[in-house]
């Protein structure tokens, strides 16, 4: 049960973190940006709303970005891209943890960086590598503008929907392409401290922003994906119920065998004046010892196997099907405690029924049989 729940919870956590890494927890942008897929409307990073958002309880960080659609051209191929420009103080821990080659772009306060990172998918399709030039073309009205970037690194998240299109670079490159003022951006991304409070924090953000802005949580933006992850919870419940039933049937069978083997002893104890409940307690305590030992051994095995998988990724998955290249494990102590406590409580309650058989045993019959 521990391994099953840890794997499913690990899968949910890993996919959620990857989606959040590309789009943060909450995105605030100009309401008019929703009409265009590849072009953001300008957002003033110095507006009063930004200061109010930073003061909301539960907000960890506010950072700025802008996106612009275009294409990459090589000698033999053309590939559509979405250039994501990020500010110099952007939280790049997600991209750092998914880098497979090279380094992140180096941003300075003085000039716009010409370095970008591309996905392993784009690099493989176009035959590009670290240090190569990336010739890009962006639409601007009826015309296009060409830019040549330098690839500083290659990342891989196994999320094909994002890896197919996203390249990441300096926000100021998008500002220049769109001919915006220096303090403008495409929007701001909000990171929260507690993902479980995302809904309430999103509502708080709605209350402090103007009518011309919109705030969208990552769950609302990717409803299909998170609905699918939510369905995994029903699988977790089903697995726990099935395994708990197997566990209960096994321990009841073991207890009944013990009762049948000790029938004569039960008769002698009753003859000596023992009450039914006191005899039942003896068998319940013995059963609890067996269940407790099984829980300790099972938890230890689950912990060892989980740590091995977590550090060495021995079990692999197809990234194209599961969006992750290995079986993820979430070794949360709460999982161990809840499953262990739930198992022993369920088993002890289930054992009340077979121990009730003790009250039907007649001392005269058992002693005569002996």
Element (H, E) at 237: helix 223-261
What is the value of pTM for the model shown? Answer: 0.82
Q: pLDDT tens digits for the chain (370 residues)?
A: 999 999 999 999 999 999 998 889 999 998 876 555 566 789 999 999 999 999 999 999 999 999 999 999 998 899 999 999 999 889 999 999 999 999 999 887 778 899 999 999 999 999 999 999 999 999 877 788 899 999 999 999 998 888 999 999 999 999 999 889 999 999 999 999 999 999 999 999 999 998 889 999 999 988 888 888 888 888 888 888 898 888 888 888 888 888 888 888 888 888 888 888 888 888 888 888 988 999 999 999 999 999 999 999 999 998 888 889 899 999 999 999 999 998 888 888 888 888 888 888 877 766 654 4
Which candidate, 56, 68, 47, 48, places its Cα nearest to that of 26? 56
Contact 247, 343 (CB under 8 A): yes
> If 0-12 CB within 10 Å is exposed, 13-18 middle and 19+ buried, where does residue 187 land?
buried
């Amino acid at each position: 049960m521990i391994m099953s729940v840890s794997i499913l919870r690990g899968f949910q956590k890993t996919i959620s973190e990857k989606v959040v890494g590309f789009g943060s927890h909450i995105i605030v942008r100009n309401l008019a940006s929703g009409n265009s897929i590849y072009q953001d409307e300008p957002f003033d990073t110095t507006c009063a709303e930004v200061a109010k958002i930073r003061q909301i309880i539960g907000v960890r960080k506010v950072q700025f970005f802008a996106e612009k659609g275009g294409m990459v051209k090589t000698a033999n191929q053309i590939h559509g891209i979405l250039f994501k420009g990020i500010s110099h103080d952007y939280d790049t821990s997600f991209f750092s943890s998914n880098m497979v080659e090279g380094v992140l772009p180096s941003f300075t306060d003085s000039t716009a960086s010409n370095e970008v990172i591309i996905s392993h998918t784009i690099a493989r399709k176009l035959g590009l590598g670290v240090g190569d030039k990336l010739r890009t073309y962006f639409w601007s009205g009826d015309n296009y503008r060409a830019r040549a970037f330098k690839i500083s690194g290659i990342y891989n998240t196994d999320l094909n929907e994002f890896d197919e299109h996203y390249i990441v670079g300096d926000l100021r490159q998008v500002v220049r392409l769109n001919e915006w003022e220096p303090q403008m951006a495409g929007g701001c991304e909000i990171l929260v401290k507690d993902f479980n409070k995302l809904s309430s924090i999103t509502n708080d953000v709605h209350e402090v922003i103007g009518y011309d802005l919109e705030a969208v949580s990552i769950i609302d933006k990717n409803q299909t994906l998170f609905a699918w992850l939510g369905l995994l919870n029903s699988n977790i419940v089903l697995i726990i119920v099935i395994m708990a039933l197997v566990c209960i049937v096994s321990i009841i069978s073991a207890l009944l065998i013990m009762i049948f083997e000790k029938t004569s002893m039960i008769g002698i104890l009753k003859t000596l004046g023992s009450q039914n409940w006191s005899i039942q307690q003896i068998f319940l305590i013995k059963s609890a010892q067996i269940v407790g030992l099984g829980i300790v051994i099972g938890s230890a095995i689950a912990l060892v196997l989980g740590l091995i998988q977590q550090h060495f990724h021995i079990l692999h998955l197809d990234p194209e099907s599961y969006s992750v290249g290995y079986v993820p494990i979430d070794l949360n102590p709460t999982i161990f405690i809840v499953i262990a406590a739930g198992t022993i409580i369920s088993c002890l309650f289930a054992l009340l029924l077979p121990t009730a058989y003790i009250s039907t045993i007649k001392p005269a019959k058992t002693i005569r049989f002996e």
